[in-house]
Each structure stands twice: as C-alpha cells, then as structure tokens.
Amino acid sequence: MPISASFLDVKFLLLLILLGVSRWIWPSRHFVLFGALGSAAVVGFTAPKTFVVITVISLGFLFPLHRLACWARERHTPRWFSDNVIPVGIGLLVSILVLTKAHRHFTLPFLGGDRISAELISAVGFSYFIFRAINFLYIQSLLRLKESNPFGLLFYALFPATLTSGPIQKYQDFRLQLASPAPLTGPLLASVGYRLTRGYFRKVVVAFVLNEWVTRLLAIEAPTAWVSASIVLLLYLYFYFDFAGYSDIAIAVGLLLGIKVPENFRKPFTATTISEFWRNWHISLVDWFRDHVFIPLGGMRGTRFHAGSIALLIMVLCGLWHGFTWSFLIWGTWHGIALWVEAVSGTKPIPPALRHGPRYWWRIAWTNTRVALACILFLPDTQAILRTLGGFARFN
C-alpha cells in the first residue's frame, strides 16, 4: 500500500516522529537546514508530486521574487517598479489558485485534458500552500526582510505538520522561531503526547462515529423534521471534532519539530455572535483574510457599512475557496450577510461579566443554530441538501 501525506497514515506519522526525535543529534545551530532537508525528505517520499510543485514555486518563483524586491529597494529603482514587484507576484499566485479551483469543478478550454487535471488535483494542501506563499510575499511589503538563502522559505513551504490542512502560519511568526526552536524537553514531549492523544481521539473515534450516524440518517428517503435536525446537529459536531482533532495533531507534530503552530479553535460553541464565532473557529484562516483582505481594503478605518461589506466579500471568497460550487457560494453568502447585519447594527458579543442567564444562552443558541444550518451545504450532492431541507416540512 503506498504511503500518503496524511496523519491517518501510520507510516507518515512515524516518519514525522523520527524526524522530530532526530533533532537530538542534529546541531541546533543548523536547525534551518535540518528543517528544510527533513521536510523535503518526508514530503518528497510521501507525496512526490506535491513536493515537486511546492519546491518549484518556492525556489523558482517566491525566492527569486523576494531577492528582486530586495534588489529594487537597495538600488533605488524607479518607484513604479519597486512598488509593484510584490503586488504582481501576489496577483500571479491568486490567479494560480483560482485556476486550480476552477479547473477542479468547471471545464476550462485552455486547461483541458485528464493529465493536467490529475496533476493539479494531486498537489496535497495546495490551497494552504498558496495562502502561505501569499503571506510570504505580503510581509515583504510591510517589513524589509532579506533572506540570504532559501532554506527558511523551503522549510516554511514544506512544513509537514501544516502541509495538508493548516493551520495557516504567518511567515514572520515561523521565521522568528527558526533562531530558537522549542527544545525537546520532558514537558514538551508530555504536551506532544497529550495533543496527539486528544487529536486522534477526536478525529478517529468521535468524528468517525458522528460520520456513521450522519450517513445512516442521510440514507432515509423521506426524513422528518426530527431527522433533518439530527443531521444538522451531528454534521455540525462532526466538522468540529474532525477539524479540531486534525489541528491538535498538527500542533503536536509542529512542537515535536521545534515550531509552535497557532491554535485553530478557541471554544467556538460559546460564541454569542457570528463574528465572535469566526474569531474562534478556524482562527488561522480568518486571521489570514483579516490581514490580507479586510485591513488592506480599509475595513478598520471605514464606516460600519463599509466594514460589513468587506466582511460579506470575505465570506463569499471563503466559500469559493472551499470550492467553486453553488452550495459553497450560498454558504459564504449566508455567513457574509450575518456578519454584514451585525456590523451595520453594531451587534457586539456579550461581555464576560454578563455571560449568564437566559439572554446569554439564547444568544449562544441563536448563533450556533445559524452556523449549524449552513453545514447542510457541505453535504456531498444537491439531492442530499434538498432532501434534508425538505425534511423540516414533515413532522410525522
């Protein structure tokens, strides 16, 4: 059986553990080289096509573009040139992401053929890599970084702990840890063991059981309102335990490799507004859109209407990022409208001191109900979505 770049593949996990433990014998002063070569070896062995795609873009495009931007600043080239090197690079990355997303779901005449389709789809975690690549370029416009060699970038791009599904780590946070990686101490190994255990329990046990229940309920040809409500609730819980479990494993593996990976969840079920919910669910993705879309478009400086409109745009983009389908477009619009209404009306989360009583629990229920209902749009086909929605009209 071939090995795959998945935490559910025992061989892949053992390779990562072996790589982490080998830090004991590798000189700490060469940690960046260790991380780059080790990540390249693990990803190259488990997902060779992914390794080739990410390495070519990193070494053949990102690093040369970084050096070009540094050269333009130091040589005082015309401002129109130095100011547009990074934006043009980011634009190309966005174009690549859009083309790969569109080609996976729609037919593009100039990208036809099964071979090209298979090659593009085979790149594990490509969307997350593009987001990291955009962050690497974007930070150049804020900080005058100058990398003397590409090993730090290659380590960041191929970092196996977050390769497939994040969390999306900022390049500057990652870079700061390269000089002082987390040491392999007893407390660190205990933390790694705890996060691995919790992560696998959530993902392999709890999420598996929830998925089985959802599958059985979806098989009912004429669901009632109670069946549809059960599907919504179980699907909502499944998404949480599956992704939160994965994030736990990614954080544990990251610590083992010497890098602290950002948290992706922070008690989202206790949110009292949709905006608070998205600050606590898939945190790294929301932070990415805030830093790269919301703030550059002036969301922090404009009116409530302006901020709400940008939030609506971001959620539509987030939906399309999941896939170019009508269901994901509706999902993004659903959440975007909720954020727009909260922004325009000035709705705020309930302060910690007032988090008790009927009003608090009603706000929690109202927030989670709206988020959970949108989970229906992640069902595998349109018939399943319509059948589940239709069930809410049957009470017998």
Contacts of 231 (CB under 8 A, 6+ apart): 214, 217, 218, 223, 376, 388, 391
Contact yes or no for 239/202 (Cβ under 8 A): no
Give the C-alpha separation, 204 to 335, whole Å.
29
Is 322 a residue of the active site? yes
For residue 167, cis peptide bond before it (omega within 30 degrees of 0)? yes
- Catalytic pick among 76, 282, 322, 356: 322
Q: Could you tell me where the beta strands, DSSP code E, fall in 30-99?
A: none
Tokens of 180: 């002082």
Give the C-alpha separation, 369 to 335, whole Å.
12
Give the C-alpha separation, 336 to 341, whole Å.
9
| Helices 10-21 and 31-46, packing angle to 10 deg | 170
Angstrom distances, CA of residue 35 to CA of 31, 92, 98, 178, 370: 6, 27, 30, 9, 42
Handedness of CA 136, 140, 145, 150 (dihedral sign): positive
- Candidates 304, 308, 7, 262; CA nearest to 135 is 262
| Helices 151-158 and 171-178, packing angle to 10 deg | 120
Handedness of CA 70, 129, 262, 28 (dihedral sign): negative
Tokens of 25: 């014998």
CA 356 to the chain's CA centroid: 32
Contact yes or no for 236/253 (Cβ under 8 A): no
- Candidates 283, 240, 248, 286; CA nearest to 378 is 240
Contact yes or no for 152/32 (Cβ under 8 A): yes
SS percent in the chain: helix, strand, coil, step 5: 75, 0, 25
Q: Which residues are catalytic?
A: 322
